[in-house]
Amino acid sequence: MPSVEPIDLHHCSSPRVIASYLVETAEGPALFDCGPTSTIGALEAGLRERGLELADVEHLLLSHIHLDHAGAAGVLVRRNPKLQVHVSEVGAPHLIDPSRLERSARRLYGEHFDPLWGELAPVPEANVHVVGDDVLGLHCFPTVGHAYHHVSYLHEDGTLYAGDAAGVRIVPSAYVIPPTPPPDIDVDAWHETIAEIRRHRPQRLALIHFGVVDDVDRHLDDLARQLDTWAERVLAGASEQEFVDAATRDLEAAGVSDRDDYDHAIPFSSSYLGLARWAEKRRAA
């Protein structure tokens, strides 16, 4: 198995919540997702453990522009002006001008925005590249459902750098949940993404939340099943508290001891809100 290891970003001083990955490409070292600005210190420490400085990194591959995946992009480019940032066509304008994204996030997080995420800086347009099918020798393809602008990258060694498309699993736990925060959750599209991932036959999944897994088929089976379970609960009229309680019971029944890690990676209350928005759109349609 290739050596694919997460760089633990220790979000809010907690281990095994948000990861980044160092990816070797034909055009130099790349990072897959970078986390928020609040975790840059941990990112730099992780690079040094691998014999690199931030200035040695040539490229940043982004799955999508949510703050836990891409929030540090602008500050990283400021510190390393040669860093080239690869992102979907929809995500690119929000990296160049993140003001709308920041306003929305500040309304949501209030006084907690700065300690959670830190500065959200623009990326110069010259450093932003819209992804195609091939990015630095990795195959890139849309993986929507969690976010409509989400993409994943398949390395020739069989590693799928999956972002949130393959769910949340806090390794070494085997338990898988779908991260379903607002505003873009689409359950049907996510099932199509799961099928598309299977068609690409990855040998392992590199998860931002959190770790590398190689039981790909079982993992995707569990993701699809849990996505349907959560969606059905919301469609059946579960309240936010009922949803959170049920998700907690699921973890306990599965023997998961690190419930707080899962809830930190993607709070169950936020997952409810995303599915509730999806359900409302479904009913309206």
pLDDT at residue 104 tops 90: no
Average pLDDT over residues 141-168: 96
Q: For residue 102, give the nearest of 93, 94, 91, 111 by alpha carbon.
A: 94
CA–CA separation, 203 vs 221, rounded Å?
15
Kindly state whether residue 134 falls inside one of the protein's structural domains: yes
Kindly state whether residue 15 falls inside one of the protein's structural domains: yes
Residue 102 corresponds to which amino acid?
Answer: E
pLDDT at 43: 97
Q: Which two tokens stand for residue 219?
A: 């993992």
Average pLDDT over residues 67-92: 96
For residues 43 and 72, the answer to whether their CB atoms sit within 8 Å is yes
Question: Containing domain of residue 124, as a range?
Answer: 7-173+183-215
pLDDT at 2: 58
CA–CA separation, 248 vs 108, rounded Å?
23
Digit-coded pLDDT (tens) for 171-202: 999 999 999 998 889 999 999 999 999 999 99
Kindly state whether residue 156 falls inside one of the protein's structural domains: yes
CA–CA separation, 169 vs 206, rounded Å?
10
Q: 113-139: buried (b, 16+ CB within 10 Å) or exposed (e) per residue?
A: beebbbbbbbbeeebbbebeeebbebe
pLDDT at 94: 94
Q: What CATH code is carried by the domain that includes residue 104?
A: 3.60.15.10
Kindly state whether residue 227 falls inside one of the protein's structural domains: no
**Rg for the chain (alpha carbons), in Å?**
18
Please state whether 136 falls in left (phi above 0), alpha (psi between -120 and 50) or beta. left
Report percent pLDDT > 70 for the chain: 99
pLDDT at 1: 47
The domain tally of the chain equals 1
CA–CA separation, 210 vs 11, rounded Å?
12
Kindly state whether residue 230 falls inside one of the protein's structural domains: no
Instruction: Kindly compute the dihedral angle of the four CA atoms of residues 122, 12, 247, 148, in this order, to the nearest 10 degrees.
Output: 10
pLDDT at residue 116 tops 60: yes
Digit-coded pLDDT (tens) for 34-78: 999 999 999 999 999 999 999 999 999 999 999 999 999 999 999
CA–CA separation, 45 vs 35, rounded Å?
14
CA–CA separation, 250 vs 82, rounded Å?
46
pLDDT band at 132 (very low <50, low <70, confident <90, very high): very high
Kindly state whether residue 268 falls inside one of the protein's structural domains: no
Kindly state whether residue 271 falls inside one of the protein's structural domains: no
Kindly state whether residue 51 falls inside one of the protein's structural domains: yes
Reported in sequence order, the residue ranges of 187-232 that DSSP labels E, i.e. its strands, are 204-207, 211-213
